[in-house]
Chain A
């Protein structure tokens, strides 16, 4: 069935690195733009990063730019998020989500979500 499954979350000390992964199945991953979205404990949703379907273009929120790197493997149907120089404010549940149509907002939206993986950067 249509599914996204995140993994890799853990407790990590400030300044260290962590890599999250998202495994996709049940839909055409290679033709889908993909996003990472996070949610700090008790807080709202925050968009983190977007990668277009061929991986050629990547976009980041200002809060993670130059620290996080989004990547994908269309042969393995996986999406990754490499997180460096982690800060306490990066503590959140990280979700991967498919972008229905990155080029046309009238058809857009994040229509497939994973269950999330928790990253904890303690102070």
Chain B
């Protein structure tokens, strides 16, 4: 089955830029989507497709793709961006999904 690998933890200074990556062979075939999850809350979609933000998501969130890696970039990280971030994509069957292992972002 397909796997998506993320760094377990990343930190960023307030106002600086941070990139969270997601690696998996399936990303050569399908786009990833990205989710922010704060403690005790449901996940929230922040990026989908090539680099699309749902309504209400700040433009400091952006996405990019290269080969087997999808990236989520936060430009000018804010304290409220501290959360767990998960990537998600389909597996090779096209109708099964897989989530990444998750990255805990700390804003210093």
Q: Are B86 and A45 in contact (CB under 8 A)?
A: yes
Note all chain B residues with C-beta closer than 8 A to A37.
43, 99
Cross-chain pairs A/B with CB under 8 angstroms, 21 sampled:
A44-B102, A46-B99, A50-B96, A57-B95, A59-B95, A62-B1, A100-B45, A105-B30, A105-B49, A105-B89, A108-B48, A108-B49, A110-B33, A110-B35, A110-B43, A110-B45, A110-B88, A111-B45, A111-B54, A114-B42, A116-B42
Note all chain A residues with C-beta closer than 8 A to B52.
107
Q: Is B44 an interface residue (CB 8 A)?
A: yes
Task: Give the complex CA separation of A47 and B87 in angstroms.
Answer: 12
Name the contact of B35 in the complex, choosing from A45, A57, A116 (C-beta under 8 A): A45
Task: Give the complex CA separation of A107 and B97 in angstroms.
Answer: 15
Q: Is A35 an interface residue (CB 8 A)?
A: yes
Q: Give A98's nearest chain B residue, CB to CB.
A: B45
Note all chain A residues with C-beta closer than 8 A to B44.
113
A interface, size bucket: 20 to 34
Q: Are B96 and A47 in contact (CB under 8 A)?
A: yes
Chain A interface (Cβ < 8 Å from any Cβ of B) = 35, 37, 44-47, 50, 57, 59, 61-62, 95, 97, 100, 102, 105-111, 113-116
Q: Give A58's nearest chain B residue, CB to CB.
A: B95
Residue-wise, chain B 61-94 has the 8 Å CB interface mask toward A (1 for contact) of 0000000000000000000000010101110010
Q: Are A100 and B48 in contact (CB under 8 A)?
A: yes
